[in-house]
Structure 1
Amino acid sequence: MFEPLQDWRYRRLFSAQCIALLGTGLATIALALLAFELAEERAGVVMGTALAIKMFAYVIIAPLAQAFAERLPRRLVLIVLEVMRGSVVLLLPFVTAVWQVYVLIFVLQSASAAFTPTLQATIPAVLREERRYVKGLALTRLAHDLENLLSPLLAAYLLTLVSFNLLFVGTAIGMFASAAIIAMTALPHFERAEQRSFATRALRGVKIFLHTPSLKGLTAIHFAIAAGGAMVLVNTVVYVQSVLGLGQRDVALVMACFGAGSMAVALLVPHLLDRVKDRTIMLAGCIITVVALGIGVLVPQSLWSLLLLWPMLGAALGAGVTTAGRVLLHSSRESDRPAVFAAHFSIAHATWLVTYPVAGVVGARYGLDTAFLVLGVMAALGTLLAMRAWPAGLVLTVEHEHVDLLPDDPHLMDAYGRRHAHPIVIDDLHGSWPAPGGRVGRL
């Protein structure tokens, strides 16, 4: 499991990622307290708007930022973005109006939307052995789950000693430390993408997603998993405190069970992949989501039902997202990986942008039973779409004919005329996924 940490470059990048994650968790809590100080009874509106701005930045900015930074040195981009994030966080204690919070959050999350997929696209070049890369993905999932558990505990302890504004300072120090660690890490040589227009670079990752069956299936899988995750993240506090009449400690307990389910599966996935395909594991996560939400409709509301369902939904999340990086790796060329990882970052968060308000609005207006039902239907729909878009018998090596290449083109060196067969990846020469014996043109 911890084998990737033997690689000193990955160890440093992973350390930088963990420090940044912890800092982001502390900043989220401090932001909630800042919102209450500025808006008091309207703090919920401020936080809701700030989270909406975050999701908007993640969905829209990630491909645009990647297209802008594509021609720049990878390490320089990561360092500049971390310094930018730390500098913005340092400004938050000095805001005096809500609109200033919104502006800074947009800048901060825009930098995050560029930083995270860029770092994710860097890891495969560091851990080139696939077995190690899969374990690295599991470690990343584990880090996210541990951050969800540890950040609130650490923040609660620090708030007994210092003002919440100092949490922002601690976050900034962490991000500057992350930038320093990256600056001391020599990254490998990356295959450079060809010169293209800004619009072409910005849309390239999305186009590859739209033409690759496994990536279209991955999008539907994320939608199904997000339906279950949204039920947990949006309605846990309502379920525990309003419906069951329990306290804040019980909220923490239930959320810890959700995180424990995700961590357990993240630890299992590297061993399962020796015998089970990525698609099977991810669809199992979708099916668990549908089953758990269905049980939520049928069983009486109680703490015991939550202690059963929330670990199931956590396990589903772990199964659905842990191996996503390997699917992206297999579905793109190295030069296209920054664009593909940025598109994945954007598309995955778009699914949450849909399921979050559904979970909140339906739960508030029609009750939690109805929320379970509606989100269960959404999860089932996502599962069926994933199965259709990414068939189990998908053939990767396809015989095809190039309609716009000359017979002496280097790509056709081993071909008979314009026809040959090889594993398909959507790129400049393969603009669509060919049917066996079909024709392909440029992207």
Structure 2
Amino acid sequence: MTLFANRDYRHLFGAQLVALFGNGLTTVALGLLAYQLAGPRAGAVLGTALTIKMVAYVLIAPVAGAYADRVPRRSALVGLDLVRASIVLALPFVEQIWQIYVLVAVLQSASAAFTPTFQAVLPDIVPDERDYTRALSYSQLASTMESLLSPLLVAVLISVVNFHWLFTGTSVGFLASAALVVSTRIPDAARRVGVGAVERIGSGVRIFVRTPRLRGLMGLNLVVAAVGSIVMVDTVNLVQQTLGRSQADVAWLLTANGLGVIMAALLVPRLLDRIPERSLMLTGAGVLLTGITAALVLSTATSGDWRWAAALPIWTIIGAGTGLVLTPTGRVLRRSSSAEDRPAIFAAQFSLSHACWLLAYPINGWLATTTGFTTTWTALAVCAAVGVTAAVIYWPRRDTEALIHIHDHGTDPEHLADAVALRDGSHAHAHEILIDRNHRHWPPPQLNQFARVADRPVR
């Protein structure tokens, strides 16, 4: 039976997909609403609103994930969709900027709780480990497709209706998501006994901190956020204020960025047959640096119709770099975690990557308002360069080889079946390392360097 032949998974995936598109439409519509209320200060308003969103994602998501087994999950998902539908309906009626901030805080808190709750449901709906891994991949693909198609959908809609109707359509989408969840048989989660919430929240972050390739991934997350914030925060002001073009062109420029992502996403599966994830993702980071450099050149021009023609390929290049970095991320996360830690590490990536956006959004929104695009994008380019440097340093080129390491007392005896007993009672062996309950720390490089010099095989 194929994964999508599973009715419960199919409906739940559909609910997530509709909800993602609702968030995408709301993000674009918020940019237009901010420009209507604040004019030239729209960048600062949108930057603050997106900062609120990132705070909710960073803080609420791991907490919601830790407590996902404490409430009926179907009721929780339906309730969160209803909250989002109500908030979105209220957005077109705001008259003050502070009202945007309050409504965005509630809306994004509900969205931040929806995602980890959905992820907690998947293992029960799809118990087979291989199908579960595929389901996680489809979730990542759904997020990518939303970023690609939402701007295109907005471009079509805004050509025939006022942008305020986008909020109404989004609300209908959240209601459709709730209806799909209601039609799904979601079992209540079994309570985990003896594991504290703090431990559950922190386990994924600990794996990130102690795994070299994941520390490198954090650097790449910073690159994506620093360069991507130009697209998310500055597109409205660049198109309407600097270039003097229409609202529809805002959506078309975002669509150009989305097309870059989809082209990269289509190429990545074939490229990964020939290129390791590290090389491909660092190439994507290089493409992003190229994109932001080109954007800096564009920001120095004060006039000329060529600027619009140049903006389209620059935004496409940024999208392509983003796709090259983000698409293989799921493979890196799966390879870096055991089955029991996989939900925690995906949740950690969700929170930590959004923490990078939490840094980039306010830098962009506030600096662009006070100093202009050139200074702002220079600062973001520096952040991106720091991220690339961290990725190169922390993510070793040979990161899949067996590593010699020593186990002290307390390790699972089954794990030590092929280990060599040492004089002090500890055991040594070599295999590819995952940070888990038997491997709390990454082996020190000195141990493996010494073994290579001595040319002493270790079983």
TM-score (norm 2): 0.79
Q: Is the 8 A contact 1:289 1:376 kept in 2?
A: no
- Per the TM alignment, residue 409 of structure 1 is displaced from its structure 2 partner at its CA by 3.0
Alpha-carbon contact 2:52-2:101 (below 8 Å) kept: yes
Q: Is the 8 A contact 1:138 1:270 kept in 2?
A: no
The answer to whether the aligner puts 1:260 opposite 2:262 as a matched pair is: no
**Deviation, structure 1 residue 80:** 4.6
Counterpart residue identity of residue 315, structure 1: A
Give 1:144's aligned amino acid.
Answer: S
How far apart, CA to CA, are the structure 2 residues paired with 1:426 and 1:238? 45
Aligned match of 1:419 in 428, 442, 450? 428
Amino acid at match of 2:416: L
Q: CA separation in 1, counterparts of 2:334 and 2:290? A: 30
Among 310, 317, 322, the alignment partner of 1:305 is 310
In structure 2, the partner of 1:143 is 146
1:402 Cα offset (Å): 1.7
1:245, distance to aligned residue in structure 2 (A) = 3.4
Distance 1:422 1:9, change over 3 A: farther
Q: CA deviation at 1:188?
A: 9.8
Equivalent in the alignment of 1:333:
338
Q: Deviations over 1:313-332 (max 9, x none)?
A: 01011111122222222222
Q: Does 1:434 align with 2:443?
A: yes
Distance 1:119 1:145, change over 3 A: farther
SS in 2 for 1:128: helix
8 A Cα contact 2:281 2:324, kept in partner: yes
* Contact 2:50/2:361 (8 A) holds in 1: no
Give the partner amino acid of 1:128.
Answer: R
- Following superposition, the deviation at residue 253 of structure 1 comes to 2.8
User: Which residue identity is paired with 2:434?
Assistant: V
Question: What whole-Å deviation, never above 9, does each CA across 1:135-184 have from its counterpart, x for those lacking one?
Answer: 66445412331123214543664548xxx4x7655534432332332344
* Gap change, CA 1:159 and 1:95, over 3 Å in 2: closer
What is residue 457 of structure 2 aligned with on the other side? none
The letter for the 1-side match of 2:410 is L
Residue equivalent to 1:68: 67
Matched, 1:409 2:413: yes
Change (3 A) 1:246 1:157: closer
Q: CA deviation at 1:43?
A: 9.0
Alignment RMSD:
3.7
Does structure 1 retain, via aligned residues, the 8 Å contact 2:94–2:100? yes
Aligned-partner Cα distance in 1 for 2:231–2:321: 12
Aligned to 1:324: 329
Contact 1:138 1:269 in 2 (8 A): no
Paired with 2:408 and 2:260, the residues of 1 have a C-alpha distance of 50
1:127-206 aligned within 5 A: 128=130, 134=137, 137-151=140-154, 153-154=156-157, 157=160, 159=162, 164=164, 170-185=169-184, 195-206=194-205
The change in CA–CA distance for 1:105 and 1:208 in structure 2 (over 3 A counts) is same
1:409 aligned partner, one-letter code: P
The residue that corresponds to 1:375 in the other structure is 380
Residue 400 (1) aligns with residue 399 (2):
no
Distance, in Å, in 2 between the alignment partners of 1:248 and 1:169 is 18
Q: CA–CA distance in 2 between the matches of 1:188 and 1:285?
A: 40
How far apart are 1:210 and its partner, in Å? Answer: 0.9
Give the deviation of 1:370 after TM superposition: 3.2
Query: In structure 1, how many angstroms separate the alpha carbons of the residues matched to 2:223 and 2:415?
Result: 39
In 2, are the aligned partners of 1:22 and 1:151 still within 8 Å (CA)? no
Counterpart amino acid of 2:373? L
Offset of residue 312 of structure 1: 0.4
- Does structure 2 retain, via aligned residues, the 8 Å contact 1:399–1:438? yes
* Cα offset, 1:72, TM superposition: 5.7
**Alpha-carbon deviations, 1:270-309, whole Å to 9, x = none?**
2322222222222111100112222333466422321221
TM-aligned CA deviation for residue 18 of structure 1: 2.2
Aligned equivalents of 2:372, 2:40: Cα separation in 1: 23
Q: How does 1:26-105 map to 2 (within 5 A)?
A: 26-28=25-27, 44=42, 48-70=47-69, 77-86=76-85, 88-89=87-88, 102-105=101-104
1:304 maps to amino acid: A
Residue 361 of structure 1 and its aligned partner are, at CA, apart by 3.7
259 and 271 in structure 1: CA distance in 2 versus 1, 3 angstrom threshold: same
Matched residue type, 1:411: H
Confirm or deny: 8 A CA contact 2:70 2:189 kept in the other structure.
Answer: no
Distance (whole Å) between structure 1 residues aligned to residue 337 and residue 440 of structure 2:
12
CA displacement at 1:118 relative to structure 2: 4.1
**What CA distance in whole angstroms lies between the structure 2 residues aligned with 1:192 and 1:420?**
36
Seen in structure 2, the aligned counterparts of structure 1 residues 384 and 132 have a Cα distance that, compared at 3 Å, is: same
Gapped runs of 5+ residues in structure 1? none
Alignment correspondent of 1:244:
243
2:12 paired with 1:13: yes
| SS, match of residue 205 in structure 1 | helix
Q: CA deviation at 1:132?
A: 8.1
Contact 1:121–1:341 (Cα < 8 Å) also in 2:
no
Q: Is the 8 A contact 2:47 2:362 kept in 1?
A: no
* 2-structure distance, mates of 1:189, 1:424: 34
Per-residue CA deviations over 1:362-393 (Å, capped at 9, x if unaligned) read 43444433334332222121111011111111
Q: Compute the TM-score of the two structures, normalised by the length of structure 1.
A: 0.82
Classify the secondary structure of the residue corresponding to 1:69.
Answer: coil
Change beyond 3 A, Cα 1:427–1:33? same
Greater shift in the superposed pair: 184-193 or 243-252: 184-193
Q: Distance in 1 between matches of 2:146 and 2:57?
A: 20
2:270 aligns to what? Answer: 271
Counterpart CA distance in 1 for 2:272 and 2:208 is 23
Render the CA deviation track for 1:228-247: whole Å, top value 9, x for unaligned. Answer: 11122222233333333333
